Chains A and B, each alone.
Chain A
Amino acid sequence: MTAPELLRNFSIIAHIDHGKSTLADRLLERTGALSKRELKEQFLDSMELERERGITIKARSVRLNYVARDGKSYVLNLIDTPGHVDFAYEVSRSLAACEGALLVVDASQGVEAQTLANVYMALDHGLEIIPVINKIDLPGADVERTRNEIEQIVGLDASNAILTSAKEGIGIDEVLEAVVTRIPAPPANGARPLRALVFDSWYDPYEGVISLVRVFDGELRRGMRLQLMGTGKRGELMRLGFFTPHEQPADRLGPGEVGFIVAGIKDVADMRVGDTVTDADRPASEPLAGFKELKPMVFAGLYPTEANQYTALRDAIDKLRLNDASLVFEPETSQALGFGFRAGFLGLLHMDIAQERLEREFGLDLVVTAPTVAYRVRTTSGETKIVDNPSRLPPENEIEAIEEPFILAEIHVPEAYLGAVMRLCEERRGVQRELRYAGHQRVILSYEMPLAEIVFDFYDRLKSVSRGYASLDYEFLDFRPEHLVKLDIRINGEVVDALSMIVHRDRAFERGRALCEKMRELIPRQMFEVAIQAAIGARIIARESVKPLRKNVTAKCYGGDITRKRKLLEKQKEGKKRMKQVGRVEIPQEAFLALLKVGE
């Protein structure tokens, strides 16, 4: 155990390419955590790669030992963070485990927008932020301009920013000194009942759930009985330790310390990010602030393109969920697509990652239906239902009202883009609740908005109208009755249930038209004409058609051509397998997501 005054917990906030992993490598090297040889193998880079493949969206932490200029030996915990709004909550928990952060900015590129969301979040958590201007060795480096940008765009005092070149090893000691001298030590609350924050959890087939925790009060001792204050789950602390980055076992972790724990818990849903671990025999009275059980915001159907892959899909989702507590799913059937699952996700990126992992890691071929939010429907018989699949909406005459989930969006934006962002919010049926200036030319906007308006392309649009400088966070408010209608897509006259959606009445025509056009682009010409219609109930509001294939015939087919010809036909057939047969129409997978592609 390390005395709290000798501990520093920090993370690195940086735009991609601004040198985060090189700086981390240098810190590991300078503190002797990794040998030069190991560094050559690019220890941290391999983790970056994992993340790029969408496998690790989780934070990691590394303990560094550092003898500072004051002669004392410090323990520095470097905590890594993921970076997308879908995972904003996980980022916030990682930051909550720190007292400070390094903001790394490339001296030749200046402040990039994507870092801002995390900086603002770190500021909200009261973290001490140390600006680091990196890559000062590059010919295009402009330290003063970068310093100005940090002050004007981020609103931080950059007069004492540290100048580094991680690549050349310049300024590394200064960074380590600043971590020690400028970031506060964690408070020493060793006598209180145990409270430790879970900021990452993953599943290991041998040990069950492994969690990364930050101890705030009390201490973790091997053999003690633990309780999760949020989920109520209990376990015995069988193993604990920390990463250097190699795994090191420990017997105890005291206040302020960061490490991993294994408590014989089998399901990541029982040991969720943000929950508080306490001593089951001497529990704390209050959990740490900020635990949210993440609720899926977006729902979509997952179907195998071939019916015989249903069981394989079920097993794959089961495995995926071992590591992803925020993924929920249940079986459903579609007339058009057969047997599949309705799955809930934190957002579209989360959905994309899940789809990609199912396809890549499990070799499945999937149709993903248009994502939707969950609506609350009051029926004429006085019932209330949650509908997360538009095709399950009760018949119109049984609906008293459809209520739509609303959220409170908080948007941080530099003043220059305020107008554009406000226009976007209003286009999306947003109602402003607050506009306040926070620091230098930085504005915080609050809007009440329908969730459905922001889960799809809002984040991308927000980034685009603000050149990437706006950041978004949101929380659920309530359900509100709105004028909503079910929009059906008919293919050759038949409603394809998997394509139905719930839209605001005022948007229905525009949506229907755009969707039909997109479907026409996405459905290839085939043997027969394909009629695409958008309809509200019996009323057709838009129509398009895909003209039949005009020509597809091999001119020559003699003795030497037959084998090749058969292979070509087999390939054509193979290509069709990636499509879903609806009636006699073959619909490519991406057409089911046409809704998301409108406007591309």
Chain B
Amino acid sequence: MGFSLYIHIPYCESKCPYCDFNSYGVSQWPEVEYVDALVGEMETRARTAPWAGQRVKTIFFGGGTPSLFMPASIAGVIQAADRLFGLVPDCEVTLEANPGTVDQSKLVDLRAAGVNRISFGAQSFNPAILKVLGRIHDAEQTRQAASMAQRAGFERLNLDLIFAVPGQQIEDVYRDIAVATSLGPDHISAYNLTFEEKTIFFTAMKRGLIVPLSDDEQAAMFEVVRTELPRRGYPMYEISNYAPAGHEARHNLSYWRAESYLGLGAGAHSCALDDTFSQGVRWWNQPLPSRYLAAVAERGIAEEGRELIEKRKLEQEFVFLNLRLRAGFEFREFERRFGEPFDARFGEVTAPLVQGGLLVRDKDRLFLSDRGLEIADSVFAQFM
């Protein structure tokens, strides 16, 4: 056994108008206190079930903008994880970075600190689109950052792209893919822009100031993405993720495979499953950084809420998370976990979806068809 460790860094230089993550645009941040709190929280968790005695399989620094932190701070967190839990030998350590916040020496230092995979929020290479998205970086900085990262020894490099941005044309999507792949990353995430509640984009949409592309346009762009990236050597392995075999983000795979994860930092979520998969617990931390810091200082943890996930819900989550993967899941994995054949639990729901061409089932597995990918949520809702 082992688990995935997520570290949340909630600070950004400025908040992007489409972003609904737990992040705060700030000009300075309490880096030392925050790292102390992360380590403090980690120490508490390391003493308690189910994490005590388990090793860390992957670490992911997400945000926010983790690249705002000094490499020494990142190193401190990685070392603490190694000291308190132990890292497996080939532990994947990913850090999200804004291309505008790195330089060559920082990348070298991050690599030396133990980060072995870096993920840049490129979003687009079209200046007009970057402007709509409110990004602080430009396309040239992304090119530079990618090449500096490669020079710093990052063999594993992800670029994030966003498509279906208002004003974007289908040609822009082709172009972004061409540029992104030309930079030689080993992984690309391509996200369909969504208008999430409590974002500036959402408010602007409600007021009619910004109009999302039509469903037809968005679906057409999604189709371009999921045919063009594989053609260029990046097969789709999840609804928004593309990489050659063996280069998948192992940390994220653990979410889609519905495995346990420990999240540290402001607003981070954790999920602990019991050994028999008969139930699980998910909890989340205090999202406000100041409250998070105060809570950890006082109690050693900063839990704000939790929910018990009973077996039936775990089964549902297993299905809708695994079906996000291009390869879906194996029936025998479902049965191994839940002690019941998949068909006994979901056969009736599945049959019409297979018959209707939304799901594909072969002897061993179940996965979404191309058409199913476009309306995956409608398919998933059938299992609820």
Binding site for B on A (CB under 8 A): 526-528, 548-560, 562-563, 565-566, 568-570, 572-573, 576, 584
Q: Closest B-chain residue to A560, C-beta based?
A: B269
A584 to B356, Cβ gap below 8 A? yes
Q: Is residue B381 within 8 Å, beta carbon to beta carbon, of the partner chain?
A: yes
Q: Cα distance A563–B268 when bound, in Å?
A: 12
Q: Which of A527, A550, A555, A572 contacts B240 (CB 8 A)?
A: A555
Q: Residue of A at shortest CB range from B163?
A: A555
Q: Are B215 and A551 in contact (CB under 8 A)?
A: yes
* 12 residue pairs from A and B, CB less than 8 Å apart: A527-B378, A550-B219, A552-B376, A557-B255, A558-B62, A559-B263, A563-B269, A566-B313, A569-B320, A569-B380, A572-B378, A572-B381
Residues of B within 8 A of A551 (CB): 192, 215, 218-219, 222, 374-375
Whether A576 lies near B191 (C-beta < 8 A) is no
Say whether, besides A527-B356, A566-B313, A569-B320, A560 and B263 are in contact (CB < 8 Å). Answer: yes
The residue on B at minimum CB distance from A570 is: B384
Chain A residue contacts of B282, Cβ below 8 A? 562-563
Q: Which of A527, A548, A552 is most buried by chain B, counting CB atoms within 10 A of its CB?
A: A527
Tell me the complex Cα distance, A385–B307, Å. Answer: 60
Chain B, Cβ-Cβ closest to A554? B377
Determine if A555 and B192 form an interchain contact, defined as CB atoms under 8 angstroms apart. yes
Contact B219 A562 (CB under 8 A): no
A553 adjacent to B313 (CB under 8 Å)? no
**Which B residues lie within 8 Å of A555 (CB)?**
191-194, 239-240
Q: Which of B97-131 contact A (CB under 8 A)?
A: none
Complex interface bits, B174-212 against A, C-beta within 8 A gives 1, otherwise 0: 000000000000000001111000000000000000000
**Is A559 a contact partner of B6 (Cβ separation < 8 A)?**
yes
Q: Which of B334-363 contact A (CB under 8 A)?
A: 352, 356, 358
Check if A584 sits within 8 Å of B321, measured CB to CB: no
Shortest CB distance A578–B (Å): 14
What is the minimal beta-carbon distance from A465 to any residue of chain B, in angstroms? 37
- In the complex, chain A residues whose CB is within 8 Å of the CB of B218: 550-551
Say yes or no: A559 contacts B269, CB within 8 Å: yes
Residues of B247-279 whose CB lies within 8 A of A: 252, 255-256, 261, 263, 267-271
Chain A residues positioned under 8 Å from B239 (CB to CB): 553-555, 557
Docked pose: A559 CA to B218 CA in angstroms: 25
Q: Does B284 contact A (CB under 8 A)?
A: yes
B307 near A563 with CB under 8 A, answer yes
Q: Chain A nearest CB: distance from B176 CB in Å?
A: 15
Is the beta-carbon distance between A573 and B384 smaller than 8 angstroms? yes
Closest to B376 in A: A553
Q: When chains A and B are docked, how far (Å) is the Cα of A584 from the Cα of B261?
A: 38
**Using Cβ atoms and an 8 Å threshold, which residues of chain B touch A569?**
316, 320, 377, 380-381, 384
Residues of chain B at interface, number, CB under 8 A: 48
Residues of B within 8 A of A568 (CB): 377
B216 CB within 8 Å of chain A? yes
CB-CB nearest 8 A-B residue pairs: A572-B381, A573-B384, A550-B215, A553-B376, A560-B269, A555-B191, A555-B192, A551-B219
Please indicate the chain A residues that have their CB under 8 angstroms from the CB of B376 in the complex: 552-554
B373 surroundings in chain A (CB, below 8 A): 553
Question: Which residue from chain B places its CB closest to the CB of A568 in the assembled complex?
Answer: B377
Q: How far is the CA of A563 from the CA of B269 in the complex (A)?
A: 9
Query: Is B379 located at the chain interface by the 8 A CB criterion?
Result: yes
CA distance A563 to B239 in the complex (A): 18
Nearest residue, chain A, Cβ from B269: A560
Q: Give chain B's interface secondary structure class.
A: mixed
Q: Which residues of B contact A554 (CB under 8 A)?
A: 194, 239, 376-377
Q: How far is the CA of A553 from the CA of B375 in the complex (A)?
A: 5
Do A572 and B269 have beta carbons less than 8 Å apart?
no
B57 part of interface (Cβ distance < 8 Å) = no
Nearest B-chain residue to A565, judged by Cβ:
B320
Contact between A556 and B381, CB atoms less than 8 A apart: no
B378–A552 CB distance below 8 A? yes
* CB closest chain-B residue, reference A527: B378
Measured CB to CB, the closest approach of chain B to A505, in angstroms, equals: 38
B205 nearest CB across to chain A (Å): 16
- Are A572 and B384 in contact, CB atoms less than 8 angstroms apart? yes
Residues of A within 8 A of B6 (CB): 559
B317 near A: Cβ within 8 Å?
yes
* A526, A555, A565: most-surrounded residue (chain B CB, <10 A): A555
Please indicate the chain B residues that have their CB under 8 angstroms from the CB of A553 in the complex.
192, 222, 239, 373-377
Q: A423: shortest Cβ distance to chain B, in Å? A: 42
Give B16 Cβ to nearest chain A Cβ, in Å. Answer: 14
Report Cα–Cα, A555/B284, bound state, in Å: 22
Chain B residue contacts of A584, Cβ below 8 A: 352, 356
B326 beta carbon closer than 8 Å to chain A: no
* Chain A residue at minimum C-beta to C-beta distance from B218: A551
CB distance from A204 to the nearest CB of B (A): 45
Residues of A contacting B358 in the complex (Cβ-Cβ under 8 angstroms)? 527
Residues of the A chain whose Cβ atoms lie less than 8 Å from the Cβ of B382: 573
The one of B215, B317, B374 that contacts A562, using a Cβ cutoff of 8 Å: B317
Residues of chain B lying within 8 A (CB to CB) of residue A563: 269, 282, 284, 307
Complex contact B321–A562 (CB within 8 A): yes
Task: Kindly list chain A residues whose C-beta atoms are within 8 Å of the C-beta of B321.
Answer: 557, 562
Report how far A526 CA is from B375 CA in the complex, Å: 9
- B378 & A526 in contact (Cβ 8 Å cutoff): yes
CB <8 Å contact, B320 and A558: no
The CA of A559 and the CA of B382, in the complex, are separated in Å by: 22
Interface residues of B in 307-321 (CB under 8 A from A): 307, 313, 316-317, 320-321
Docked Cα-Cα span, A427 to B12, in Å, equals 69
Within 8 Å CB of A558, what residues of B? 62, 252, 255
Say yes or no: A556-B240 contact (C-beta < 8 A), given A527-B356, A569-B320.
yes
- Given the interface contacts A527-B356, A562-B317, does A552 sit within 8 Å of B271 by beta carbon? no
A551 to chain B, nearest CB (A): 4
Residues of B within 8 A of A548 (CB): 375
**What's the Cα separation between A568 and B380 when bound, in Å?**
10
Is B156 interfacial (CB 8 A cutoff)?
no
* C-alpha gap A243/B6 in the complex (Å): 73
Interchain CB contact under 8 A, A562 and B269: yes
Residue of A whose beta carbon sits closest to that of B62: A558
* Residue B324 CB within 8 A of the other chain: yes
Report if A527-B269 is in contact (Cβ < 8 Å); known contacts: A553-B374, A556-B240, A563-B307.
Answer: no
B contact residues around A528 at 8 Å (CB): 356
Which residue of B is nearest A553, CB measured?
B376
A-contacting residues, B55-90, CB 8 Å: 62
Chain A contacts of B191 at CB under 8 A?
A: 555-556
Question: Are the CB atoms of A559 and B240 closer together than 8 Å?
Answer: no
Q: How far is the CA of A549 from the CA of B320 in the complex (A)?
A: 19
CB within 8 Å for A573 and B381 given contacts A553-B374, A555-B192: yes
The docked-state distance in angstroms from the alpha carbon of A569 to that of B62 is: 25
Q: Given A552-B374, A563-B307, A566-B317, list of 13 further CB < 8 A pairs?
A: A549-B375, A550-B215, A552-B378, A554-B377, A559-B255, A559-B268, A562-B282, A562-B321, A563-B282, A563-B284, A568-B377, A569-B384, A572-B381
